[in-house]
Amino acid sequence: MNGADDRMGYLLFVTALWAFSFSLIGEYLSGQVDSDFAVLTRVLLGGLVFLPLLRLAGLRRSLIAGMLLVGALQFGVTYLCLYRSFAYLTVPEVLLFTITTPLYVTLLDDALHRRFAPVALVAAGLAVVGAGIIRYEGLSEGYWLGFFLLQVANCAFAAGQVGFKHLLQRYPTETPAYRYFFLFFIGALAVTLPAWLVFGDRTMMPETAAQWLVLLWLGVAASGLGLYLWNRGGCLVDAGTLAVMNNALVPAGLLVNLLVWNRDADLLRLAAGGLVIAFSLWVNARFSRYARLEVFGTTR
């Protein structure tokens, strides 16, 4: 791949990486391992990946504080709210309600730039429609608290992505981002550790080797490598593309679940929704002037 394709490569790789996470959590952790402990474990393992790389010399305090905040939002708040939503929603409803994330990405990016980019918002809206085609299966009664929790999670995840990108743009430094990405996990730890100490269920600890291996994979690969590469990729594309890619995980996750665990899936809806999401990427790339500016590295 060359040029813009290289920039998309980060997001595509992480989409494939994260596509396995939903199935692994559902098969080995959900209802078996305390969710607060699972999130805390992911934070600790992800942080250990970047601890040996830590270099803070020459970094501005604002960049350090911003990275802590991004981690607290994108990892800490997001995952704590996401896991709690399962107590009020079915799995299809959880997947359905996560598809609003692209809208938050575009709106927050526009707010930080004091502008309105209608093409990016239209593309994000199309991505929501595409994911909705795939996942909508009707709603249960009494889901409003779960819906609220997921909207907090979606907004926090979007704020983390947009915040990371704007931090690197506002505070340019010769120090590579992986040298201080450990701060991201410290910020997440400030949220997840108190949550586990207060709300954690000590009777639901991992008991099998498979559960520990899944936690290890989720912490090192999905959380450590995955979150860094996702945020790095988000810095190389425009907000509209980043927004749309947030929903590309829906068909990818369903496809993995179908191929590996042989779960039933409506292939026609999967294909139709996937085409709509792909179309939304084309709309943004073709018509958004901000996409052309950011993909080719021009500052605003």
Residues 53-62 have pLDDT tens digits of 999 988 999 9
Does residue 300 lie in a domain region?
A: no
Residue position matching structure tokens 């730890």? 189
| DSSP 3-state of 150 | helix
Could you give the angle at the alpha carbon of 180 between the alpha carbons of 35 and 75, nearest 5°? 20
Q: How many CA atoms lie within 13 A of 192 on its CB side?
A: 29
Is residue 134 assigned to a domain? yes
pLDDT at 295: 36
Q: What is the rounded average pLDDT of the residues 129-157?
A: 74
C-alpha dist (Å) from residue 188 to 62, 94, 232: 17, 22, 18
Amino acid at 41: T
Residues in the chain: 300
The pLDDT assigned to 298 comes to: 30
185 touches 71 (CB < 8 A): yes
| Local confidence band at 138 (pLDDT 50, 70, 90 cut-offs) | low
At how many degrees (to 10) do helices 4-24 and 226-234 cross? 150
CA pair distance 232, 255, nearest whole angstrom: 25
Residue 85: per-residue pLDDT: 80
Q: Which residues contact 83 (CB under 8 A, 6 or more apart)?
A: 35, 36, 38, 39
In a domain, 231, yes or no: yes
39 within domain boundaries: yes
Mean pLDDT of 251-255: 71
Overall number of domains in the chain:
1
Structure tokens at 201: 């269920």
What is the structure's pLDDT at 117? Answer: 62
Do 281 and 242 meet the contact criterion of CB atoms below 8 Å apart? no
184 in a domain, yes or no?
Answer: yes
**Contact criterion met (CB below 8 Å) for 44 and 12:** no
pLDDT score of 125 more than 50: yes
Residue 299 confidence (pLDDT) above 50: no
- Give me the domain span that covers residue 26: 4-295
Residue 160 in any domain: the answer is: yes
Query: Tell me: the pLDDT tens digits for 181-200?
Result: 999 999 999 999 999 999 99
Q: Is residue 140 part of a domain?
A: yes
Asked, for residue 101, whether it belongs to a domain, the answer is: yes
3-state secondary structure of 189: helix
